[in-house]
Each structure stands twice: as structure tokens, then as C-alpha cells.
Amino acid sequence: MGVNLTPYDDKPGFYENPREWWGKLNLYDIIRLRTSIIFSNKRLSVKSMDEKIAEAILEAAASTKPVYSEVYFRKPPKPRPIIDTQLKPVGIQGEVEKISITENPKVPRRVDQLIQERIPARDAVIELYISGLDVYYIQRIFSAAGLGVRKKFVPTRWTITAVDKIISQHIFRRVKHYKEYPTYEIYHTSYIGNRYTIFIIPGTWSIEMIEVWLPHSVWVPGSKPYIYTVHELEDGKPNDEDGGYYAIRLSVLEFLDKQKRQAKVIVVREITPEYFAPVGSWQIRESIRNAFKQRPEKPGSLEEALAILARKTILSLEEIVKNSKLLDIVQRQKMITEFF
């Protein structure tokens, strides 16, 4: 665990704000931005809350504005790049001897109360989200042992998925009672070598992620795409656990909640060779959120919708249909309806 030390400039908060990066920074910009940070870390027990370093980490995490910090390292920090599908890039790292927060952190009153109280982490996460606090801020507090009955540190990777899962499940409990979406809609966006096509189908809640690593992309050196799918049906229980899936699920449910509708939703994520260095699941979450800000195409039938889907995606429609559990269900339901 540790704190990120940004270069001295007039926008230190920008280094930790993925919402501000989307559409403004390219992949090189993001890597350059994040690798200019010094990540000061120290190995701590997940249950350790007595050490002054642990307290300083929590103070920095809970502050809604960046705070000035003094950090003493055991050895000079060194470049140790971390590039990961879930985590934001990290460049320079150093083991901490001492951390001091040299100004008063700005902590919302209720956040300070939740840190002192011992209520389930799930309830605390939901309360903070409902109050309007940013999901990335909630992740920081959760990871820094600020929430829960038994306060303990949580690895960042687990934190990201846990927060997405908790919040999306909270929204799902509302969405499943809404009326069904009235029309087919297709949204599309692309960012830093990731292409997202979102297909909304009238019906009861279901969702599917079709993740396609295209040939010659970062994890697929060969000539054939790698296709991975996760889906859930009306019961809200996915057939697999995946961090990218939960980032998509949260953004889709946020949109449906605003529309006061439920629907079947298929999200095709295509990763191209342009995405040569993964920069974290934030770009998945923010890409879906931004896709829903675009004007959708509204086909009048399933056949027309599939034709549009074929134009939007690099993967062939045949491959999408072959790998999609939801399209199989929708097509079978349509055949039964037409038969009767």
C-alpha cells in the first residue's frame, strides 16, 4: 500500500482522475502521465491499522483534494513499470520509511463518520455512491482500509471489481422492476484502440460481454482472434467473475436506471493492436459511459439491428452470433413468437 506522489504542478488531481482523461489523452499521454508519478509503497498486513504509515495512507485516500505529503524512502525510487488490464499504469516505485501529511485533508463529514464507524463495507460503498461521490474516490477509501466492520487493506485489483460489483448490484435491484425497453438501440464508441458496440434489445434484464482480442493485439500474437464471453440472465448472476465485465455492467445499469427501463444488453468490446499497453479497467467503464452520450441508431427489427451490428464490428456477425448466449435466446424466442 502507498500514496502516489505527483510532479509539482497546478493540477495534481488530474493524475488520479480517469473521468478527465477519456477522449482527451491518447495512449502515449496516459502512460507518460502515470509513469511520471512516484508510487511510494510499503508492505503492510491487511489488518494493520496501528502504523502511522497506514494512517497517512488513509488520510491521503480520504481527502477529496490532493494533499501535500513528505515521504522518506529506504532507498532511492527506481523505475518499475506496471502495465495491467485492471490497474492504472505505475512507473517509478520506492519503499517507504516514513510518510507525513503536511496539510489538513479535505474529508467529507459523512466519509469521516463511516471511517470511524463499523458498518458493513457494502452498505458504506452504497451510501457513498448514493451521496454522489465518484466511484474512483470510493475505490481509494475501500482499498486504504477505510470501510467495513473489520478495517483492513484490500489490494487495488480486488477493490476495483468489488466496488463495481457492489454498486451495480444495488442498481440492478431497481432496474429489474422497470418496464421493458421499447426499441432496439445500438451505441458505438472507440478509444485508445478499444472499440465498443452496445446492442440494446427489448426484453427482461440480461447482459452479455463479448470481449474480442483481435489478431496481433497485445495478448494475441497469432492470426486468429481470442473471444471471451460473460453473461447473466434475469437472476442477475453472471456465469463468470471478471473485472472488465463488472466495469461494463455498472455503466450499463447506470444508463438503464436513468432511463427507468430494463433490457437485454450485449456489449462487444474489440481490442485492436493499437492498444499495445493495457492501462486499466477505468477506460472500459468510461468508454461505456461516454458511448451512451452519443446518438444511437434505432433499427426497426432484429434483422435490421443485426445488419447494423455487422457494420459496426470488426468481428464477423457470424462469429458474434456463434459466441453469443443472449442472441441465441433472443432468436429462439422470436421463432417461437412467430410460430404462434
Cα separation, 139 vs 148, in Å, equals 13
In this structure, is residue 171 part of a structural domain?
Answer: no
Q: Please, what is the average pLDDT of the chain?
A: 90
> Quick check: 246 and 163 in contact, CB under 8 A?
no
Q: Are residues 183 and 324 in the same domain?
A: yes
pLDDT of residue 340: 42
Pairing of strands 194-201, 264-271: antiparallel
pLDDT at 81 over 80: no
Q: Are residues 141 and 221 in the same domain?
A: no
Which has more pLDDT, 336 or 33? 33
In this structure, is residue 164 part of a structural domain?
Answer: no
> Quick check: 244 and 279 in contact, CB under 8 A?
no
Q: Are residues 204 and 284 in the same domain?
A: yes
pLDDT of residue 82: 72
Q: Which amino acid is at 38?
A: I
Under 8 Å CB-to-CB from 105, ≥6 apart: which residues? 59, 60, 62, 63, 65, 67
Structure confidence by residue, pLDDT tens digits, 161-199: 999 999 999 999 999 999 999 999 999 999 999 999 999
Under 8 Å CB-to-CB from 210, ≥6 apart: which residues? 227, 228, 229, 266, 267, 268, 269, 315, 320, 323, 324
Q: Are residues 146 and 188 in the same domain?
A: no
Structure confidence by residue, pLDDT tens digits, 250-282: 999 999 999 999 999 999 999 999 999 999 999
Q: Are residues 149 and 276 in the same domain?
A: no
**Tally of domains in the chain:** 2
pTM to 2 decimals? 0.92
Which has more pLDDT, 268 or 36? 268
Q: Are residues 121 and 239 in the same domain?
A: no
Q: Are residues 113 and 22 in the same domain?
A: yes
In this structure, is residue 11 part of a structural domain?
Answer: yes
Under 8 Å CB-to-CB from 194, ≥6 apart: which residues? 269, 270, 271, 272, 275, 283, 284, 287
Q: Are residues 239 and 101 in the same domain?
A: no
Q: Are residues 193 and 334 in the same domain?
A: yes
In this structure, is residue 120 part of a structural domain?
Answer: yes
DSSP state of 132: T
Q: Which among 139, 154, 169 is the end of a domain? A: 154
pLDDT of residue 337: 59
Q: Are residues 13 and 120 in the same domain?
A: yes
Give the range of the structural domain holding residue 317, as residue numbers without chain letter: 179-339
